Structure 1
């Protein structure tokens, strides 16, 4: 498994749920802590206000599921599928992802700070208005992804591929243009100034004489 961000160990678990069918299950208000969930089918499951704390999901299927204002705190996701899953206003603070798939996953709002997504293939995922502060996106494949108004303050982005991605409105001061692939990425004018400054360029208006 990939290392957890900041060296934090995987959360211990006390109970195990194995191979259960939670297809279309309403998980609203449910609370789970320190549970190991193995091969649980959560296809089209939905929840508002559920809390999963320090749980480990192995081989779980979140396909076409919908979660609103739900918390996955310091959880681990190993070889899970998130095809067409939707997360609105959810918290994934401190959670770790390893070997998962994210095709058509949609994340709107919420807090994903300190998450570990090293090497994640997010090319067909969409994030908007999400906090990803100090997230580990080392080597993440985000070519063509939509990352609109995302707070990437302090994020680890070494060798990440953001080519062709839409970064407009995002906080990108952590991006090092020398170590991150940015070819054809879409940015706004303010972000252009941030990147120019990181390249050591002096940005001045045309009528401002050089000193």
Structure 2
């Protein structure tokens, strides 16, 4: 089946649609290389726990605390993270496929080197999101606030930002293909303005960014 395209002709992202089976409640902690299948984590404080390399399949994490939780190289497949909160969560090198992240409140979350495929971030606020050298394909950010996200050296393909706030974003070294920014409510790029090739922006956004574009190429604008 052919992929949908946006009005601009860009290929639209394939949106994550997670359908969870009946889940079993889980009240334990995390373990390195743990195997979690068909479980529901509800209102658990997982702060500071060690779960690098853990695998979550058909799982739901709802209202869990993730302060300094170590989940490097973890795998999340067909899972939902709803209302999770925490500072310094380590998901470096993690793999997220067919995952919904809903109303998250996170700060300084580490996703550098991660692989995200068919992931939906909806609502919530994420400060200092580190996605350096990550690979994002078919990822949708919808109605969320991203404050000072770092996409340095990342690869973005079929990524959509819908009705988001994108504040002080670092796009240094980013490679983009079919990235849709047209409905971003606040588009503020701190670094990497020259890396927008492969993205689609609106005419209003172009006017807003015009002074920065002019400065980028050394053009002085005077009345």
User: What TM-score, normalized by structure 2, do the two folds share?
Assistant: 0.76
**Shift in Å, 1:176:** 5.7
Task: Give the equivalent residue in structure 1 for 2:196.
Answer: 181
Of 60, 64, 75, 1:61 maps to 75
Aligned length in residues: 188
CA 1:59–1:177: 2 relative to 1, 3 Å = closer
Superposition pairs of residues 114-193 of structure 1, within 5 angstroms: 114-170=128-184, 171-174=186-189, 179-183=194-198, 185-193=199-207
Kindly indicate whether residue 92 of structure 2 is the aligned counterpart of residue 78 of structure 1.
yes
CA 1:38–1:158: 2 relative to 1, 3 Å = closer
CA distance in 1, matches of 2:78, 2:86: 17
Task: Give the equivalent residue in structure 2 for 1:51.
Answer: 65
CA distance in 2, matches of 1:94, 1:78: 12
Secondary structure in structure 1 of the residue aligned to 2:71: strand
Secondary structure in structure 1 of the residue aligned to 2:31: strand
8 Å contact 2:99–2:120 — kept in the other structure?
yes
CA distance in 2, matches of 1:85, 1:179: 31
Gaps spanning 5+ residues in structure 2: where?
1-28, 216-221
User: What TM-score, normalized by structure 1, do the two folds share?
Assistant: 0.80
Using CA pairs under 8 Å that are at least 6 residues apart, name the structure with larger relative contact order, 1 or 2.
2
CA distance in 2, matches of 1:119, 1:39: 19
Gaps spanning 5+ residues in structure 1: where?
1-14, 202-209
Bigger fraction of residues in strand: 2
